[in-house]
Amino acid sequence: MKPNETSWNTPREEADFVDLTIDEWGNDHGLSAYDTPMREDAFELSDVEKVAKIEHHFREIMETLGLDLTDDSLKGTPHRVAKMYVREIFSGLNPKNKPKATLFDNKYKYNEMLVEKDISFYSNCEHHFVPIFGKAHVAYISSGKVIGLSKLNRIVQYFAKRPQVQERLTVQIGKELQQILQTEDVAVVMDAKHLCVASRGVQDDSSTTVTAFYGGKFKDEATKNEFLKYL
């Protein structure tokens, strides 16, 4: 047997090990990449085609679980779930849904930080496809340009509407704001509850997860502390 190679007495032992490894990766919140992992052919199917395909497969899932899809309450569920996936909760996967951000000259000569706090967001854990939800707080210091306040909310929601881990979501929002605002001086703090922790696994309903992104002047302790004071 080669070094680091594992010997299995039964196929069941090997299957149990694979299940344990997958669970540990998900429970430990493994982060695979900064960019959301997407295939090159991700957008070859239209939204209508994706809805039809997901509807078919979700129907099979429900049938496998033993549910009676002739029941009035259940028969429309596969289509509702498919439409929800494509057009709502995972709509942030499609670049065509990215919010258009227009910059304006900072005519007010406002040179202090601008903070938009308590932005509600809903996302889904990419390990178990159950909700992540909470509040995002973002701030920036103008480099001569400003952005409409509602666009800050829309940028948060765009990146949230895809399978995510909170660490990646935080960095994606921070990097996007730096690019749009043409400044490194951006900060993001996210405080969220994960139903993969609350409703399954360890089943801890009281804990939340906080992640942060600090760029430019926000790496300075005084500026960072001023931002955190507002929260």
Q: For residue 167, indicate whether it is catalytic.
A: no
Q: For residue 178, indicate whether it is catalytic.
A: no
Of the listed 55, 126, 157, 164, which one is catalytic? 126
Of the listed 125, 137, 157, 172, which one is catalytic? 125
Q: Take residue 60 and report the two structure tokens written for it.
A: 């099979």
Q: For residue 125, indicate whether it is catalytic.
A: yes
Of the listed 157, 164, 166, 172, which one is catalytic? 166
Of the listed 57, 63, 127, 137, which one is catalytic? 127
Distance CA 54, CA 50 (A): 6
Of the candidates 157, 150, 152, the one whose C-alpha atom is nearest the C-alpha of residue 140 is: 152
Q: For residue 126, indicate whether it is catalytic.
A: yes
Of the listed 128, 137, 157, 176, which one is catalytic? 128
Q: What is the DSSP secondary structure assignment for residue 52, as one 8-state letter?
A: H
Of the listed 137, 157, 164, 196, which one is catalytic? 196
Q: For residue 29, indicate whether it is catalytic.
A: no
Count the Cβ atoms, other than its own, within 10 Å of residue 93.
Answer: 16
C-alpha to C-alpha distances, 131 to 12, 136, 165, 201, nearest whole angstrom: 31, 15, 11, 14
Count the Cβ atoms, other than its own, within 10 Å of residue 18.
Answer: 10
- The catalytic site residues sit at 125-128, 166, 194, 196
